[in-house]
Amino acid sequence: MRVAMIGTGYVGLVSGACFADFGHVVTCIDKDASKIERLEQGIMPIYEPGLDGLVADNVRDGRLFFAIDGAEAIRQADAVFIAVGTPSRRGDGYADLTYVYEAAREIAGLIEGFTVIVTKSTVPVGTGDEIERIIRETRPDAAFAVVSNPEFLREGAAINDFKRPDRVVVGIEDERARAPMTELYRPLNLNETPLLFTGRRTSELIKYAANAFLAMKITFINEVADLCEKVGADVQQVAKGIGLDNRIGSKFLHAGPGYGGSCFPKDTQALVHTAQDAGAPLRLVETTVEVNAARKQAMAERVIAALGGNASGKTVCLLGVAFKPNTDDMRDAPSLDVAPALIAAGATVQAFDPEAMDEAKKLLPAVVFKTGPYEAVEGADVVVILTEWDQFRALDLARVKNLARQPIIVDLRNVYRPDDVRAKGFTYSSIGRA
C-alpha cells in the first residue's frame, strides 16, 4: 500500500519507518525544510534506539521517502495519516488542534480516488467528526473515510511497541475503511496482534482513558511511597506485592519524582477538560493532575532537606534531565521543576544527560551542563539521580565520593540499595524506603 504520513515528529517518523519496514511505500511529509534535509542525510530529529538504522534500511530499499511538498504523495496514497503535534493550549490545557485541522484542509484539496484519512495524533473525542466535516465542506465530491488509529508507543521502546503491540485500535464509521486498515496492519498477524475495530469516538476515548489510567497508577504508587516513608515500609516491596496480582499488574508501579513526557501531562489535562465540558467530570484524573504537579515541585524540597535545609551556596549535581531514559524528550520532565527551584534557593546546579542536553540547555539556561557523569559530580554537595539511565545504575561510588564535596546521594529513582550505598560512607535517601 502507499502511505502518506504528515508529520515527522516522534509518532509520525516511527510509524512511517515501521510501516515501510512492513513493506508499504511511505512518504513522510513535513513543512520544516531543515528537518527533511537532515532526514535525507540520515540525521534523526529525535533520539530513539534503533530508529536511525530502521530509517536508513528502508530509504536504501526504496520504501521510505521524505518530502516538504506532499501533494504528489497524498494524491497517490491509499491512506493518509495525520501525525502532527497536539500540544496543550496555553492558558486552558485543552488540546491544540490547529495543526490537525490544517492538515485536514491540505488533504482535502489533494486526495484522488477513495482514500482513508487516519488520525494518528492524540485528539479529543469528536475530532474525527470535525475532520470529516472540514474535508466534506472543501470537497463534497471526494471519496474518503476518516479513521481514528491512536498510537501506544513508549519513548525508548517505540519500534518494538509498534511491531509487537498489545493491540491495534481502529475507530471507523465507514465500513469501506475496514479492509485497507486491515491490510496495513496485516504483517502483525504473525504475532496474532488483536486488531480492535470500534466506533471512531470510542477509539479516540480509548487513547485518553488508557494514558489517564497509567498516570493514575504512577501517582498512586507515588502517594503510597510517601506513606511508606511515614510508617517504615518499603514501597518497592509493596509494589511487588500488589503487582503480582494479575488484576493489577506490575507495570507503572515504580515510585519516583512524578510523570512527565509528551503524553501523560497533556493527555490527562485534555481528558479533564473533555469530561468537564461533557458534564461528566473525572475526579480521579483531576486529582492525579494536581498531585503529580505538586510532586515534581516537592522533589527540590527533598534535595534541600538532604543539604540540611539550606541550599544557598551549595552545588547540586543532577544525573539525568530527560523525563525518562532512552529518550531526549524534555517535555514536562521533573528536571524542569527541580532545577529552577534549587537555583531559586541559592544553589548552583550542574547536570549531565546522555542524550537530552541540547534541548535542556534551551529550557534550563541557568544550569551548568557537564560532559559526563563524573564531571557533573565534581565539587557537588549532593548528587541527585533524576533519570535512571543505564550508565547511572553502576556508578563507581568510591570515585563519586572522592569527587564530591559531600558524600550525599538523593536517589529519586530508587536505583541503588540503601544499605549498599550507606556502607560506602554516603548519606543516602530515596523514594518510599527507609
Q: Write the pLDDT tens digit of every residue in 76-85.
A: 999 999 999 9
Residue 361 domain boundaries: 199-434
284-315 burial code (b ≥16 CB/10 A, e <16):
ebbebbebbeebbbebbebbbebbeeebeebb
Q: Give this prediction's pTM.
A: 0.93
Same domain, 94 and 216: no
Same domain, 250 and 367: yes
Three-class SS of residue 285? helix
- pLDDT of residue 434 exceeding 90, the answer is no
Same domain, 32 and 86: yes
pLDDT tens for 34-59 read 999 999 999 999 999 999 999 999 99
Distance CA 433, CA 388 (A): 17
Distance CA 39, CA 206 (A): 32
Answer whether 295's CB lies under 8 Å from 221's CB: no
Task: Specify the pLDDT at position 193.
Answer: 85
Same domain, 266 and 310: yes
Same domain, 151 and 253: no
Place of cell 557537564: 370
pLDDT tens for 131-165 read 999 999 999 999 999 999 999 999 999 999 999 99
Same domain, 97 and 107: yes
Identity of the amino acid at 316: V
Which uninterrupted H or E stretch holds 139? none
pLDDT confidence band for 190 (50 / 70 / 90): confident
Same domain, 189 and 310: no
- pLDDT of residue 191 exceeding 80, the answer is no
Domain count, the chain: 2
The last residue of a domain, from among 153, 178, 198: 198
pLDDT confidence band for 88 (50 / 70 / 90): confident
Place of cell 492538515: 103
Task: Specify the pLDDT at position 89.
Answer: 84
Three-class SS of residue 254? coil
Answer whether 32's CB lies under 8 Å from 10's CB: no
The last residue of a domain, from among 198, 226, 257: 198
Task: Specify the pLDDT at position 92.
Answer: 79
Answer whether 333's CB lies under 8 Å from 321's CB: yes
What does each C-alpha distance from 129 to 114, 268, 398 come to in angstroms? 18, 21, 61
Mean pLDDT score across all residues of the chain: 96
Same domain, 237 and 178: no
Q: What is the CATH number of the domain that holds 103?
A: 3.40.50.720
- pLDDT of residue 173 exceeding 80, the answer is yes
What does each C-alpha distance from 72 to 109, 112, 327 come to in angstroms? 12, 10, 33
Q: Which residues are catalytic, by number?
A: 263
What residues are paired with 144 via a beta bridge? 115
Same domain, 322 and 188: no
Cell of 261: 513526557
Supply the DSSP symbol for 383: E
The last residue of a domain, from among 163, 198, 233: 198
Comparing CA positions, the residue from 66, 68, 148, 72 lying closest to residue 112 is: 72
Task: Specify the pLDDT at position 267.
Answer: 94
Same domain, 129 and 252: no
Same domain, 127 and 207: no
Answer whether 151's CB lies under 8 Å from 211's CB: no
What residues are paired with 157 via a beta bridge? none
Cell of 345: 534557593
Same domain, 188 and 203: no
